[in-house]
Amino acid sequence: MSEALVTLPFAPRAHQRAAHSLLLTVRFLVLVWHRRAGKTVFAIVELILAGLRFKQKRGRFGYVAPLLKQAKLVAWTYLKDFTRVIPGCTYNETELEVVLPNGASIRLYGADNPDAMRGGYFDGVVMDEVADMKPMVWGEIVRPMLADRSGWAIFIGTPKGINLFSQLYYAALEGLEGWAADLKRANETDALSEQEIADMRATMSPSQQAQELDCDFAAAVENTLLPLPAVLDSQKRHAPEDLFSGAAKILGVDVARYGDDRTVLFPRQGRMAFQPKTFRQLSLMETVGQVAMSIEKWKPDAVFVDQTGLGAGVVDRLRELGHEVQGVDFGSRALRPTPRLKNRRAEMWWTMAEWVKDGGCLPRVAGLAEELTAPTYRVDSNQVIQLESKDDMKARGLPSPDIADALALTFAAPVTKSASLGLGAAVLMTARTDFDPYEEH
C-alpha cells in the first residue's frame, strides 16, 4: 500500500508540541495541565499519529475515560473529525472504534467497565482524568495489556487531591525509568487569555483556582492532616548528624495484614527519618526474622510494632527471642489530653504531622508523600478528631498507607535515650493511663 501525505486539522500550541517531543523519548508520560489546556485534543491526535505510523499487524490503541459515556461525549467527536481527512477509515458507532487504513484501531473505553478491556493488548493508550479512576484499572488491567508489545501510555488530567494521578506524577518526577512528567499552570500556556484567566479567578474559590488553574494537588483536600507542600519541604531537608546523633533510635514496624499490604520497617532518630524497608507476602516468622536482624544491626532504643492481627504474633515471638519490643494497638485510647484524638493511630499521626512541620527530615521514598497526605480527618459532634481508617481509604481507591503508618509508629510514645545504660536501652514513658507523656517530668 502506497503512503499518502495526510494533514490533520489540528494546529498544536507550544506546550502540546513540547509534550509530543517528550513522548518520543519516554514510554510513559504524565501531563498535569490546567483546565482547558487542550489535553483531550492533544491525546486524540497522538493516538491517531501513532496509529498511522504503526508498522506491525493489528495495531491496537485505546482512550480510557472514567465513564464510557464520558469518553463518547468528550472524545468520540474529536476522533471522528480528525480522522475524516484520512481516506479509508471505517467507523463502528456501537463499539466507539475507528479502524485506520493500515488496520490499526483506536477504541474508546470507560474505566467504569474495565472488564471490556480484559484479554487484549494495547500498543498505546491514553488515560484521561486519571484522578477519577480506581488504581486497579491501571495496575491490574491496562498496565498488563501494555506488556505484550511494549506499549506506551499517556496520563492526562487536572489535580483532584491525592490519588492514582498524583502517585503517577510524583513517581515520574522521582526519576522512574522510562517515565516523564509535565505540569502546566494557566499562566504557562497560551490556551487561555489573561483576561479569561482573570475572569475565572474572580468567580472561583481559592481552592478551585489552585486546583483548576494552578495544578495544585493539595488544593482539593482541605481536611488533610498533612498538606503536601509541608511533606515535600521535609523531603528536601537534611539534618546534620550532630543534630540527631544524640537522640534515641526508634524503629516503627507496620505488619502486613493481608493481600497487597506491605510489612514496613521504618527507622527514625530525632529529626531524621531514614530509608524504610518494605516487604510483601512475608510469613509471620519471616517478618520476625527481618525485625530481629534490624534490631541487631541498628540497635534501636525502642521498637514499636502494630500488634493488630498478625502483629501480635510478631510481638510475642520477638519477646521470646529476647528483644524488648512494644506492641501498639491502633484502636486503643490516645495518651495525650489535647487535642482530643479518637485513638492511638490518630494520636501518632497527629504527632508525626507536628514533627514534619517542625523541621523533621523525610527520605525520598516512592509513594511516601502520597501516603502521608492521603488520609483525611474529621471532627465529630464531641469535638474529637478522627483520622480516616485504612479500610475507608481503600474504599475510595487509595492503597493502604503502610509506609506512613510505620513512620507514625515511631511516635507511639516519647523515648529517652538512657546514657547510663550504654547499651541502646531506653525509658518508655507510657506506663499509666493517667500519665501524661507530653508533660515534663
The CATH number of whichever domain residue 356 belongs to comes to 3.30.420.240
pLDDT tens string 167-209: 899 889 878 899 999 999 999 999 999 999 999 999 999 889 9
- Residue 286: Cβ within 10 Å count: 12
- Residue 16 CB contacts under 8 Å (≥ 6 apart), including other chains: 38, 42
CA atoms in the 13 A half-sphere facing the CB of 95: 12
Q: Can you give the pLDDT at residue 428?
A: 44
pLDDT, mean of residues 119-126: 95
pLDDT at 39: 96
Indicate whether 356 and 422 sit together in one domain.
yes
User: Both 245 and 327 in a single domain?
Assistant: yes
| Confidence check: pLDDT of 426 > 80 | no
Q: 109 with 249, same domain? A: no
Pair 55, 133 in one domain: yes
User: pLDDT at residue 218 above 80?
Assistant: no
CATH number at residue 157: 3.40.50.300
Mean pLDDT of 108-120: 91
Least reliable range by pLDDT among 69-83, 92-106, 128-142, 214-228:
214-228
Asked whether residue 144 falls in the same domain as residue 268, the answer is no
Q: At which residue does the C-alpha cell 482512550 appear?
A: 63
Confidence (pLDDT) at 163: 79
Q: How far is CA 216 from the centre of its chain?
A: 14
Q: Which of 61-75, 253-267, 271-285, 341-355 has the lowest mean pLDDT?
A: 253-267
In a domain, 332, yes or no: yes
Residue 25 sits in the same domain as residue 157: yes
Residue 80 domain-assigned (yes or no): yes
**Cβ atoms within 10 A of the Cβ of 431, count?**
9
- Amino acid occupying residue 272: M
Look at residue 87 and tell me whether its pLDDT is greater than 80. yes
Do 408 and 305 sit in the same domain of this protein? Answer: yes
Residue 435 within a domain: no
Q: How many domains does the chain have?
A: 2
Give yes or no for residue 256 having a pLDDT over 70.
yes
Name the residue type at position 92: N
- The verdict on 251 and 305 lying in the same domain is yes
pLDDT digits (tens, 9 = 90+) for 129-158: 998 998 889 999 999 999 999 999 999 999
**Mean pLDDT, all residues of the chain:** 89
pLDDT at 31: 97
Where residue 118 falls among pLDDT bands split at 50, 70, 90? confident
Q: Would residue 438 count as lying in a domain?
A: no
Residue 383 counted as domain residue: yes
pLDDT at residue 440 greater than cutoff 60 = no
- Among 213, 241, 273, the domain-final residue is 213
Residue 431 has pLDDT above 50, yes or no: no
- Residue 202 shares a structural domain with residue 247: no
What pLDDT does 286 receive? 94
CB within 8 A of 410, min separation 6: which ones? 250, 251, 252, 266, 267, 268, 273, 304, 352
Q: Structure pTM?
A: 0.66
Segment 103-125 shows an average pLDDT of: 94
Q: 250 and 347 in one domain?
A: yes
Range scoring the smallest mean pLDDT among 177-181, 272-276, 368-372: 368-372
Residue 73, in any domain of the structure: yes
Q: Are 191 and 37 in contact (CB under 8 A)?
A: yes
Whether the predicted pLDDT of 424 surpasses 60: no
- pLDDT score of 166: 86
Task: Tell which of 162, 190, 213 closes a domain.
Answer: 213
- Could you tell me the pLDDT band of residue 425, with boundaries at 50, 70 and 90? very low
Domain assignment present for residue 9? The answer is no
Whether residues 233 and 373 fall in one domain: yes
Q: What is the pLDDT of residues 275-327, one digit of tens each?
A: 999 999 899 999 999 999 999 999 999 999 999 888 999 999 999 999 999 99
Strands 415-417 and 426-428: antiparallel
Instruction: Quote the domain boundaries for residue 356.
Output: 228-428
> E-assigned strands of 282-437?
302-306, 326-328, 377-379, 385-387, 415-417, 426-428
Cβ of 140: how many Cβ atoms within 10 Å?
12
Least confident range from 14-23, 164-173, 379-388, 422-431: namely 422-431
Which of 159, 189, 213 is at the close of a domain? Answer: 213
Residues 285 and 172 in one domain: no
Q: Is residue 262 part of a domain?
A: yes
d(CA 282, CA 287): 6
What is the per-residue pLDDT for 337? 86
